[in-house]
Amino acid sequence: MKPRWAILFCFLVTPLFAADFSKEDRAWWSFQPVRKPAIPAAGKGWAKNDIDPFIARKLAAQKLAPAKTAEARTLIRRVTFDLTGLPPTPAEVDDFFKASITNPNSAFENLVDRLLASPRFGERQARFWLDLVRYADSDGYNADHPRPEAWRYRDYVIASFNADKPYDRFVREQIAGDEIDPANREALTATMYLRHWIYEYNQRDVETQWSDILNDITDVTGDVFLAMGVQCARCHDHKFDSILQKDYFRLRAFFEPLQPREAMPLGSVAARKKFAAQQHKWEEATQSIRQKLRAIEQPVLLANSTKEGFSKFNDDIKAMIRKRRKDRTGYEHQIAELSLRQIGLHPEKLPELLKGKQKAEWEMLRAELAKHDALKPKLLPTMAFVASDVGPVAPP
């Protein structure tokens, strides 16, 4: 099976080869491969690096001349604000001014190197990326509940800039960190990119809510990674940009298997396989007991749920919630889990909610279940507010 990032790449580039697109469409700048162009012969006497000749050529085409070189005190303020978002200290200004008198080029290079090495550089640059991916510390909408774990993604982006992480790695980790490096906490944190959608807990129409979430991820992925807005193609072939309606939904299909996770196990592939094998042994040995416990517990918990409770959902969603995980399809599990976020289940209250013979039977079953505790594997550490999938194929 191809890794998720590779499949996504196929989705992104396939439209370029469709017969519906003109040469102009195919020439869109963000679709072009990265290349190293020849440096133009421009900016003689002014250009100080390989970028300046390109600027000089563009200025000359517009019959413009470069601005005069900034005075040292002005230059350090501009560069420091640009790279760190903060002003230089008076001592830094004085030091740069003195160094610029004897060797301005060396003074400037040393200044830039110092600022790039500053932790403030990553904080400054991360702000632009976080805005693009619609990062927020809360859910949005009216309730706007806080997201206690969201800061981990913010710090991941800051650390990536400060570590000069290769851009291709930066992208792959956010799209499929759980697949390319599942034992790496940093890579799993990157999948929080897939969790930034706005959310409100009181939506009865959970299926439409889930569709809106997938649309949001698709739209933002187009904005961030394709450098073009794709959302217009949700309803029709885009009138201006080179994306068709069918390609919008082919791109969205890539995200269809998404499963938000609040307790993603951490560990090496071997450790997770060992855990899964031991967990399977425990589940097999306790299947009958757990089924009987579920038959007692689920109706009581759903009947005593909070946040308007189980009753607000339609019959289809109720049926999905009632099913055991292994009996659900991938789509049913997505909808059931999204619905359960809205239901306040309180298993800790079962001892006081259960009465009479039902409580006695429940206690007996719990005692029977405890006899198998030696089979249970030691729990792996987990991470919250990350993402994986319900399987390699998009649910229908």
- For 253-278, the pLDDT digits (tens) are 999 999 999 999 888 889 989 999 99
Measure CA 273 to chain center. 25
SS3 per residue for 275-307: HHHHHHHHHHHHHHHHHHHHHHHHHHHHHCCEC
Under 8 Å between Cβ of 365 and 292: yes
pLDDT range class, residue 311, cuts 50, 70, 90: confident
Mean pLDDT value of segment 70-74: 97
Every domain of the chain and the residues it spans: 4-34+121-264, 69-117, 265-389
Measure CA 202 to chain center. 23
pLDDT at residue 165, as a whole number: 97
| Strand 382-383 with 264-265, pairing | antiparallel
User: How high is the mean pLDDT of the chain?
Assistant: 91
What's the token pair of residue 253? 């299909």
Mean pLDDT value of segment 169-183: 93
| Strand 264-265 with 386-389, pairing | unpaired
What's the token pair of residue 283? 């589940």
Kindly report whether the global pTM for this prediction surpasses the value 0.75.
yes
Cβ neighbours, 10 Å, residue 81: 13
DSSP string spanning 119-139? HHHHHHHHHHHHHHTT--SB-
382, β-bridge pairs:
265
Mean pLDDT value of segment 72-78: 98
pLDDT at 15 over 80: no
Q: Within 13 Å, how many C-alpha atoms sit on residue 153's CB side?
A: 27
364 or 305: which carries more pLDDT confidence? 364
DSSP state of 170: H
The residue with tokens 């790449």 is 9
Least confident residue range of 33-47, 98-112, 235-249, 311-325: 235-249
H helices then E strands: how many in the chain? 17, 4
pLDDT at residue 26, as a whole number: 85
The C-alpha atoms of residue 365 and residue 293 are separated, in whole angstroms, by 7
- For 200-246, the pLDDT digits (tens) are 888 889 999 999 999 999 999 999 998 888 999 999 988 877 889 99
